[in-house]
Amino acid sequence: MSKANYLDYLRSNKFRTLPIFTYPFASSLGINPYDLTVNALKHAQVVKYIDGISDFGFAVGLMDLSLEAEGFGVSLGNDGMNLPAIGPGIIKTVADAHKLTIPNVDHYRTKMYIDAMRNIKTVVHDKPLLATVISPFSLAGILLGSYETVEHIKDNHEIIYTTLEKATTYLREYYRRLLEAGVDGFLICDSMTGILNHSNFDQFSTIFINRLTDEFDEEIYVVYHNCGDVSDTIENIKNIHADIFHFGDCNDLDSILKTFPKNKLVMGNISPIKVFNKKSRKGVERATHSLLKKHATCNNFLISPGCDLPSTIPYGKVVAYLKAVDKFYNK
């Protein structure tokens, strides 16, 4: 089925939610988050297991934004159990940015992720597979440091652009290798753009994402993910060349859906913390039903968690969410 036909198919089959809850299901199998980020076979095992739970629209690789930064030399906190904690930025001066060495994607855990995607393609055949990857600006922001990036936006664009160019060159190769491994598209996480505003979003984010996605074959799926507040930058985000736009729970979907192009699918935004973490299973079901009912007339809306769920979310709450989605669409 062509990409255009499949996206139309999703509009008519809205129960096919996006399974961005790798870690809770891994925990239910006795696999901790860190093991999932270093073991390609376990990664594939969990994605295959999730695929058998419900009839999802995509298979999705785990979300770990430390993967791409690790190769550049960013220090990671590692307790052998949880996701690696990202350390401080490594680029302090423009000279540092110019000297930055672009790592080999066959080194570090990016090689594991490529292998995991290849393994998943051998066991999941009936739907597109998305690799979860970082955006150029978010990677550059990690390399520079979030606080430092805010300061550089004010008065040092050279250091940002130089770092962005290195990040984009690296990601181009990483994305290419993932495509060779068999992925059908990407969930691109643009998480750090919350520090940007309407006047500078395009120059630091949109342009660099589009530079990469415009090189893809037209049948490659692009899902843009932003879990930050996009109220000031939503008009910029419309300029990103993606098929699906996925937003976090801090955003008003009413406002987004009223202004977003109807030919683009919008996904979100059940809160990982306020709903999945704090509410009971019944509370998760009610919140899911409420959001579905609220946007029932929107042809381009598909529900999903607002962001990847942490491993501490009980498996049963995810099942409650899926039960509510199924009940709403199969009354």
Specify whether the CB–CB gap between 181 and 116 falls below 8 A.
Answer: no
Percentage of the chain modeled with pLDDT above 90: 95
User: How far is the C-alpha of 160 from the C-alpha of 144, rounded, in Å?
Assistant: 8
Distance of CA 43 to the CA centre of its chain: 16
Inter-axis angle of helices 40-51 and 108-121, to 10 degrees?
A: 40
For 190-220, how does the pLDDT look when each residue is reduced to its tens digit (9 = 90+)? 999 999 999 999 999 999 999 999 999 999 9
Beta strands 76-77 and 85-86, pairing class: antiparallel
In degrees to the nearest 10, what's the CA dihedral of 114, 82, 48, 215?
A: -30
Strand partners, 39: none
Class of CATH domain 3-329: alpha beta
The pLDDT tens digits for 245-302 are 999 999 999 999 998 999 999 999 999 999 999 999 999 999 999 999 999 999 999 9
Tell me what pLDDT residue 174 has.
98
User: Distance of alpha carbon 100 from its chain centroid, rounded?
Assistant: 26
**Number of helices and strands in the chain (H, E):** 16, 9
For residue 77, pLDDT beyond 70: yes
- For 43-79, the DSSP string reads HHHHHHHHHTTS--S-EEPPP-TTHHHHTTT--EE--
DSSP conformation class of 240: S
* Chain position carrying tokens 């996605």: 213
Residue entry with tokens 């809306």: 301
Q: Report the SS3 class of residue 101.
A: coil
Which pLDDT score is estimated for 331? 62
For residue 159, give Cα distances in angstroms to 90, 91, 95, 152, 252.
12, 9, 8, 7, 34
Is the pLDDT reported for residue 311 higher than 70? yes
State residue 137's pLDDT score: 98
**pLDDT tens-digit readout, 127-141:** 999 999 999 999 999
Cα 176 from Cα 30, distance rounded (Å): 32
Half-sphere exposure of residue 317, counting CA atoms within 13 Å on the CB side? 25
Model confidence at 120, in pLDDT bands (50, 70, 90)?
A: very high
How deeply is 293 buried, as exposed, middle or buried, from its count of CB atoms within 10 A (0-12, 13-18, 19+)? exposed
* Alpha carbon distance 254, 260 (integer Å): 10
Q: What is the pLDDT of residues 140-158, one digit of tens each?
A: 999 999 999 999 999 999 9
Looking at residue 330, its pLDDT comes to: 86
The CA-atom distances, in angstroms, between 53 and each of 37, 56, 161, 229 are 22, 9, 44, 31
Residue 264 DSSP symbol = S
Residue 48 predicted with pLDDT over 90: yes
User: What mean pLDDT value characterizes the chain?
Assistant: 95
Distances (CA, A) of 23 to 33, 44, 123: 6, 13, 19
* pLDDT bracket for residue 167 (50, 70, 90): very high
